[in-house]
Amino acid sequence: MTSWDEISDLISAGDADKLIERLITLDDAGRKLVAGELRGHIAVLSRHAEAKQEERWVAETRRREEDPDYWQHWREPEREPWQDWADLLRLAGAGTLSAVSAVASWVTRRDLAMWRSFTGRTEFGDPEPVIRLVGHRPAEWQAELAVRLGAKVRGPGDPGAVLALAMLRHTGAPPPEHDPLVVAWAVAGTAAQHEPLEGAGTAAVSVVESDPLLPALLPRLFEAEGVGRALQYEKADPISPWFSAIRAAGEREALLDGCVRRFLRGGTAQDLRFFARLHELLAPTEAEIDARRRDYLRLLPAAPGPVAELSLRHLRRLDAHDPADVAEALEGLLFRAEAKLVRPGLTWFDQTVRHAPDRADELAAALVTAFNHEAYEIQGRAAQLALKHATRFGPLGAEQIRDAIPALPPALGAQLVAVYGGQAAVEEPGPVFTPPPLPEPVAVPAFPAVPESPAEMETLGWTSWRWLDGERWLGGFVRLAARDRDGLRSALEVPYGSSYPQLFEMRHWLQDDHWRAAIARELIAPGADPGVPAERPGRRGGPASGNGVAVRAPLMVSLRALTDDAETQAQAGGFSLAYLPVELREEPVSEAPRDRLPDPREVSGLDMFVLRRFAEVLAALKDGTLPPVLLATPTLANGMLDPDVLVSRLAECEAARAVPLPTDLRQALLRLPRGAHPEAASRAARLTSEAGRTVARRLADGGLPDPEVRVRWSYSKDFDSYFLDERRPGGTGQVWLTPRLRAEPTGLDLIDEFSTSSAGTMNDHGHCMGWWPSVLPSHREVVAVNLVPRLHQQWARESTYPVHPAMLAAADGPAGVATALALAYFLAQKDANGGASVLVTMAARGALPAAELGAHLGVLIRWTWLKQQHIMNALEAAADRGAHREVWEVLRTLLPALLPDAEGGEKPHAGLAKVVELVVTVAQRAAARGAIPEVEAVVGQGGGSRFRTECRRLHAYLIRP
């Protein structure tokens, strides 16, 4: 057996200790033989490991498929010898190659780095065996190897960094001056102090004070590029091991000099955060600050904000400054864009001039620098200081201020002109805006004709999600089933004969296209449905029922008659909806399925109503009781049904001695236009059927009465719940909706049933939501209150689209709090045009609930995740398109909700000044009058910020004579 055979067998056995022992005892010939075989063996061992890994995956997959309890007793597979081939091959090269350069190249080969599951990185194995193996080499050879490995490190993610650092510690060799090595040391130390790498052995990286690399590499921390960003998350309170070790090992003056020197080299806030924290941890004394005074002054104009802040803070600790230094510092500070740095700069200016009035002129140049600041608040403060110290400025200082006055806003400049003379900027009038007139309301188009021939049914898209296509298909099917059943059967054979192969394996059909496929296949092959499959015990609605993924709490459910006065409501026939989180429990389903209809408790009432229409067509087809025509097929594209057309369809059914389908009749009644229709009622009264008499009564008495809809916002504090309109929260928190719906019973079972079912139930993603506005085209508030819970649930909003409030805009009936809330959510979309278009449409129809919309928008901005800027963009777009008067009414209600609570010490939030500026613009376009009390209160508080200035502008305009 050759030396290579022995080494190869040890590698295959995965025995590192015996491999090291044998490598050390090899003679020169043996080492040369092994070294010559190494490169060719990489591919052999790699392919072998891949094959073994594939075998393991196949075996695990088979066990997972065969064992239903696989995951309950799964364990991490034991490590096998073939998995360590790369580490052992590295050892073989380190023990047989002679030249230092060859060993350094071999042990850092990228194709010998392996993916380590315990770290989630590609890296080499434990460096300890390599160090033990090369330990028999001469010390000079080992030191040279350590330095070469250190110089090869490319960054903190380099897989060779661990071995390089371990070798440098082992040999004590001076680390090479190589920035990536320093960054790798810093990152490795950060990782080790939290989660020591598995398998790192005695060479585990540490930043404890005993680390032999600390004295050599500590000074390099302040010089190496990338160190600051690598250590930016180190904390000084509580102090991290890194900071503790640096403070203990470093010489104080050297550390302070290193921090300041690093600040002066520049960089981003992330690059310098670590050094800023170290600097503050050292707590420099006044003497130490004074010794570096010039350096801190140099940092004020351009250093990142945190560095400039600490420099200013420490400079202000010093009692005496050279006048030239103060002037330099103020010019640097007042030139900066950050208001939080300019404010203390102006305070420093104020104190300096008060204590040394004779220096006012030399500081005037710094003050006028702030006249050009982009923040109105800073400009106002600078103007106030110019007025305050006007008597202290000499001719030179006064001239500098006078020349800079045009940089100030006109109102501020005019104040200084009265004292200093000169010329203030002239406010250029903006272009005169003439709002376009609101568009004329567009007549609702006619509903597309239902298919009149089998060929038209064949071309009607069977996968379309549009409710119009679903209605056309349903109406066309019933019509053609009576006129040309054979032709209809032939036409549906191709699109539906093999569609949905698992259709009959499903217990519930939640989508209208499922029902379309079932109806078509029943016509093609009567009796094709074998019946509802049996349900295995399990979680209701879960995988056992064949409906896909189980729904896990929380859900939004409704509880009927749960107000405090439930008994009174029951006597009055009313009801309320409350939305509470609940959790489903393991329980068998005992209720028999209703011909593939879902459990009414798990879908919204509107969805259930839509599905019932399909279900009764399928049942009538099976029973041979299909009428010649459906009553409820709309005549307008918004779902409305012409009363005369309804009466004619009733007469057609009566002539054919067919009984109208019950849900179809109820849907027809819900689609009638609002109000009484005496002529159509008179025609219906002449019919002899029960359906005719029902329709006659509804046409005569004005149809379904409007339910009472209410939506209130709630929040919790200290385990108690409160209504937002009764008690304002003291801080931020979670808010939720409590929609309530109260309706008088109609006496029509299906209408009352769907009216009292859950408006908020989350059935998957609302499969029939596109139908909802067409179910109640004259009662948009009822549709809107069903949309409301989905809108407020972030996970469910993906299923609710701008088309839904657009359909509400085209509907009829009162638009109140629920419609306003549906629109409010879509005004908050990033694309301002969608919500703005709906708002303009509703304004043109005179149907915009402006006050309710403003109130809801205020809540959404203050207490939810929606963005204020998106809402303001949409309102501005709507005002530009002619709805300025309606937008003003919205803003008049919205603005008070956004104003800060002065009594609670609340400050104006970011962007509020721009909101008030928009309110002023819209108020001017709408020629608005009448003070807003909340704005008047802000004006009375005084102050010179831009927010308060805009509030004064608004108030002055609203109370103008």
> What's the rounded Cα separation, in Å, for the pair 401 and 421?
10
Give every CB contact of residue 260 below 8 A, 6+ residues apart in sequence. 279, 292, 295, 296
**764 has a pLDDT exceeding 70:** no
Q: Tell me the CA end-to-end span of the chain in Å, nearest whole number.
A: 111
For residues 925-945, give the mean pLDDT: 87
Region of residue 783 (left: phi > 0; alpha: psi -120 to 50; beta: else): alpha
Q: Does residue 121 sit in helix, strand or coil?
A: strand
For residues 933-942, give the mean pLDDT: 87
Query: Does the residue 140 lie in any domain?
Result: yes
List own/partner pairs for 819-822 with CB under 8 A and 24 or more apart: 819/780, 819/781, 819/784, 819/849, 820/849, 820/852, 820/853, 820/855, 820/856, 821/711, 821/737, 821/784, 821/788, 821/791, 821/852, 821/856, 822/784, 822/787, 822/788, 822/791
How do 555-557 and 580-582 pair as beta strands?
A: antiparallel
Pair 798, 865 in one domain: yes
**589 has a pLDDT exceeding 60:** no
- For 255, the domain range is 225-317
Q: Among 111-120, 714-723, 792-801, where is mean pLDDT lowest?
A: 792-801
What is the Cβ-side half-sphere exposure of residue 27, based on CA atoms within 13 angstroms? Answer: 2
Q: Per-residue pLDDT tens for 610-664?
A: 999 999 999 999 999 999 999 999 999 999 999 999 999 999 999 999 999 999 9
**Which of 653, 595, 648 minimizes the C-alpha distance to 625?**
653
Q: DSSP label at 734?
A: -
**Which of 162, 178, 98, 175 minimizes the C-alpha distance to 130?**
162
Query: Does the residue 929 lie in any domain?
Result: yes
Query: Does the residue 185 lie in any domain?
Result: yes
CB distance 939 to 955 below 8 Å = yes
CB distance 520 to 544 below 8 Å = no
**Which of 333, 412, 427, 326 minimizes the C-alpha distance to 377?**
412
For residues 440-454, give the mean pLDDT: 91
- pLDDT above 70: percentage of residues in the chain: 86
Pair 826, 931 in one domain: yes
Which residue type occupies 650?
Answer: L
For residues 333-362, give the mean pLDDT: 91
> What's the rounded Cα separation, in Å, for the pair 74 and 753?
49
Pair 480, 603 in one domain: yes
**Which of 106, 85, 89 minimizes the C-alpha distance to 4?**
89
Pair 331, 289 in one domain: no
Q: Domain boundary at 317, 334, 352, which?
A: 317
State the pLDDT confidence band at 344, using cuts at 50, 70 and 90. very high
Q: How many residues are given for the chain?
A: 961
Q: What is the structure's pLDDT at 500?
A: 81
**684 has a pLDDT exceeding 90:** yes
How do 580-582 and 708-717 pair as beta strands?
A: unpaired
Q: DSSP label at 946?
A: H
Q: Per-residue pLDDT tens for 808-819?
A: 888 899 999 999
Kindly report the average pLDDT of the chain as a whole number: 83
**205 has a pLDDT exceeding 50:** no
For residues 758-766, give the mean pLDDT: 47
Give the tokens for residue 385: 């200081």
Q: What is the structure's pLDDT at 430?
A: 61
Q: Domain boundary at 420, 446, 465, which?
A: 420
Q: What is the structure's pLDDT at 917?
A: 93
Which residue type occupies 561?
Answer: A
What is the Cβ-side half-sphere exposure of residue 155, based on CA atoms within 13 angstroms? Answer: 5
> What's the rounded Cα separation, in Å, for the pair 634 and 617?
17
Pair 117, 92 in one domain: no
**960 has a pLDDT exceeding 60:** yes
**Which of 146, 114, 152, 119 minimizes the C-alpha distance to 130?**
146
- Enclosing H/E stretch for 710: strand 708-717
**582 has a pLDDT exceeding 60:** no
Q: Does residue 666 sit in helix, strand or coil?
A: helix
Q: Per-residue pLDDT tens for 874-897?
A: 999 999 999 999 999 999 999 999
For residues 61-77, give the mean pLDDT: 78
Q: DSSP label at 760?
A: S
Which residues share a beta bridge with 114?
A: 123
721 φ, ψ (degrees, to nearest 5): -110, 145
Query: Does the residue 11 lie in any domain?
Result: yes
CB distance 887 to 922 below 8 Å = yes
> What's the rounded Cα separation, in Å, for the pair 843 and 883?
6
Three-state secondary structure readout of 564-618: CCHHHHHHHCCCCCCCEEECCCCCCCCCCCECCECCHHHCCHHHHHHHHHHHHHH
Q: Per-residue pLDDT tens for 121-165?
A: 667 888 999 999 999 899 999 999 999 999 999 988 888 899 999
> What's the rounded Cα separation, in Å, for the pair 705 and 691?
20
Q: How far is CA 748 from CA 576, 754, 755, 879, in A?
A: 19, 10, 11, 44
For residues 196-202, give the mean pLDDT: 38
Query: Does the residue 748 lie in any domain?
Result: no
Query: Does the residue 924 lie in any domain?
Result: yes
**Which of 711, 705, 674 minimizes the C-alpha distance to 849?**
711
Q: Does residue 122 sit in helix, strand or coil?
A: strand
For residues 491-495, give the mean pLDDT: 89
> What's the rounded Cα separation, in Å, for the pair 591 and 597?
12
Q: What angle do CA 135, 139, 143 make, to 5 degrees?
A: 95
Pair 611, 694 in one domain: yes
Q: What is the number of structural domains in the chain? A: 6
Which residue type occupies 602?
Answer: E
Q: What is the structure's pLDDT at 750?
A: 61
Give the tokens for residue 59: 């075996």
More confident of the two residues 571 and 929: 929
Give the tokens for residue 612: 């019932």
CB distance 884 to 922 below 8 Å = yes
State the pLDDT confidence band at 766, using cuts at 50, 70 and 90. low
> What's the rounded Cα separation, in Å, for the pair 742 and 761?
18
- Enclosing H/E stretch for 653: helix 643-655
Pair 313, 353 in one domain: no
Q: What is the structure's pLDDT at 767?
A: 77
Query: Does the residue 173 lie in any domain?
Result: yes
Pair 375, 390 in one domain: yes
Pair 310, 330 in one domain: no
CB distance 341 to 309 below 8 Å = yes
> What's the rounded Cα separation, in Å, for the pair 535 and 59?
32
Query: Does the residue 578 lie in any domain?
Result: no
Pair 365, 286 in one domain: no
- Alpha carbon of residue 240 to chain centroid: 33
Q: What is the structure's pLDDT at 176?
A: 95
Give the tokens for residue 772: 């909802």
For residues 298-306, give the mean pLDDT: 91
Pair 814, 886 in one domain: yes
Alpha helix positions (H), 135-197? 139-152, 161-171, 179-194
- Alpha carbon of residue 672 to chain centroid: 41
> What's the rounded Cα separation, in Å, for the pair 878 and 74?
60
State the pLDDT confidence band at 825, using cuts at 50, 70 and 90. confident
Pair 480, 601 in one domain: yes
Q: Among 246-250, 269-273, 645-649, 746-750, where is mean pLDDT lowest?
A: 746-750
Q: What is the structure's pLDDT at 760?
A: 44
Give every CB contact of residue 778 below 8 A, 6+ residues apart in sequence. 640, 670, 671, 672, 673, 674, 703, 704, 811, 812, 813
CB distance 825 to 867 below 8 Å = no
Q: What is the structure's pLDDT at 396?
A: 94
DSSP 454-498: HHHHHHS-TT---HHHHHHHHHHHHHHHHH-HHHHHHHHHHHHTT
Q: Domain boundary at 686, 701, 716, which?
A: 701
> What's the rounded Cα separation, in Å, for the pair 279 and 250?
13
Q: What angle do CA 280, 222, 307 make, to 5 degrees?
A: 40
Q: What is the structure's pLDDT at 65?
A: 76
For residues 686-708, give the mean pLDDT: 91
Give the tokens for residue 234: 């180190």
CB distance 271 to 229 below 8 Å = yes
Q: What is the structure's pLDDT at 908?
A: 87
Give every CB contact of residue 217 below 8 A, 6+ residues apart in sequence. 175, 182, 185
Whether the link from the prior residue into 773 is cis, omega within 30° of 0, is no
CB distance 82 to 49 below 8 Å = yes
